[in-house]
Amino acid sequence: MKPKSSDPGAQAKRTISIKAVLLSLGVLLANIVINGLIFLFFRDSALNPLLTAVLAVLWGVLGVYLIYYTLTWAVEQYPDHIRRRVLPYVFIGPAVIILGWLLVLPALRTLYLSFFNASSEKFVGLSNYAAIFSDHLMATALRNNLLWVFVGTLACVCFGLLIAILADRSSYEKIAKSIIFMPMAISFVAAGVIWKFVYYYQPGDEQIGLLNAIVTYFGGEPQAWTSMLQPWNNFFLIVILIWMQTGFAMVIFSAAIKGVPDDILEAARVDGAGEVKIFFGIMIPFISATILTVTTTIIVFTLKIFDVVMVMTGGQYDTEVVATQFYRQFFMYRNFGYGSTLAIVLLIAVLPVILINLRQFRKQGGF
């Protein structure tokens, strides 16, 4: 019997594929080497700092463009059936690598450090985790975090939904929404500084803090709102979160409410349903997915709250939260084991909320 001759077309495809793979690896290696050399140049250069910053920004923009351009060109050398499978990974690959480098690896290292003592030299097992739930300061921090989560989130969602409904029926909708959304334009640190002047207290009759000035104007006694009035001082801090995040909730809810079909609302009104019944019976079920998304997003903010507390009180007067306690333990007391444990506990608290959000996005066809 004569041996079967190999298919020239299949052999050519294999040759093309091998060449394309080698070309892709070469392009990838060239990108790594070139960008690595540029990074080393900026790190060791003695250029003017301003010039270095400008060149670094240009490198960042052009570098990302060249990486995607060269990798896309290399993938286009593959046969069509392979190109369609590989091309999506070209676009998401660099982002996944960067996220892994900046998020996953530090999280794993933090988890590793959480099993060691303060100097990261002696393995202590779960001792740091046990210490968290027996420490009085941590009990206070966990209690305060729960206050932020429940009170802050509930208030932001309720006020945001109420304002979205009312503003939608007002002739001053754009102006009202702009004013309420304005605090979102500033950072939590800036908001803390602003509200520090609002709550400012000094002994005597003359008060420069806005709230105490109003209280004394009406004959009341000025108060040290964020220090003396415990545990109410935590609620005064939560007001800052409500002031900032209500605008975010309002905008998202307003967009969702505008998506409710008008014919359904008109049909309900024709059938004699009142506005309250329409709100709870039609609007709320229709935008329930949006309510869940906004709620979980704000919960993540409240679990990670740090800036406002640090600026306003520095965590004193029983206003400590988990994030401020982590900062104090890790960066001030240099207790790397205990500080890393606090970071992992915070991560564990945030993860379920993020998973709920991702599941909700998947249901809505987000990815």
233/317 Cα distance (integer angstroms): 8
Count CB-CB contacts under 10 A for residue 61: 10
Residue environment code for 145-157, b if the CB has 16+ CB neighbours within 10 A, otherwise e = bebbbebbbebbb
Pick from 302, 329, 341: which is nearest to 147 by CA? 302
What Rg do the C-alpha atoms of the chain give, in angstroms? 28
Our CA dihedral for 208, 211, 214, 216, rounded to 10 degrees, sits at -70
pLDDT at 1: 47
Strand partners, 123: 116
Helix (H/G/I), strand (E/B), else coil: 205:
coil
Q: How far apart are CA 323 and CA 305, in angstroms?
A: 7
In sequence order, what are the residues at sequence separation of 6 or more whose Cβ sits closer than 8 angstroms to the Cβ of residue 227? Answer: 201, 233, 313, 316, 317
pLDDT at 318: 87
Provide the residue ranges of all domains of the chain, joining segments of one domain with +.
18-114, 129-364
CB atoms within 10 A of CB 199: 22
Average pLDDT across the chain, whole number: 85
What pTM did the predictor assign? Answer: 0.78
Q: What is the pLDDT of residue 20?
A: 74
- Quote the tokens at residue 51: 């010039």
pLDDT (0 to 100) of residue 9 = 52
- Residue 148 is predicted with a pLDDT of 93
**Which CATH superfamily includes the segment(s) 129-364?**
MetI-like (1.10.3720.10)
CB atoms within 10 A of CB 202: 12
Whole-angstrom distance, CA of residue 166 vs CA of residue 173: 9
Question: Residue 339: which residues within 8 A CB-CB, separation 6 or more?
Answer: 326, 329, 330, 331, 333
Strand partners, 116: 123
Can you give the pLDDT of all 367 residues of the chain as single tens digits?
A: 445 445 555 555 555 567 777 888 888 888 889 988 988 888 888 888 888 888 888 988 888 888 888 888 888 878 777 778 888 888 888 788 888 888 889 999 999 999 999 888 899 988 888 888 888 888 888 889 999 999 999 999 999 999 998 888 877 888 888 889 999 888 889 999 999 999 988 877 677 888 888 888 888 888 888 887 777 889 999 999 999 999 999 999 998 988 888 888 888 888 888 888 888 888 888 888 889 889 998 998 898 899 899 999 888 888 999 999 988 888 888 899 999 999 998 888 888 888 887 787 777 665 5
d(CA 283, CA 264): 10
Joined together, the tokens standing for residue 162 give 């109420």
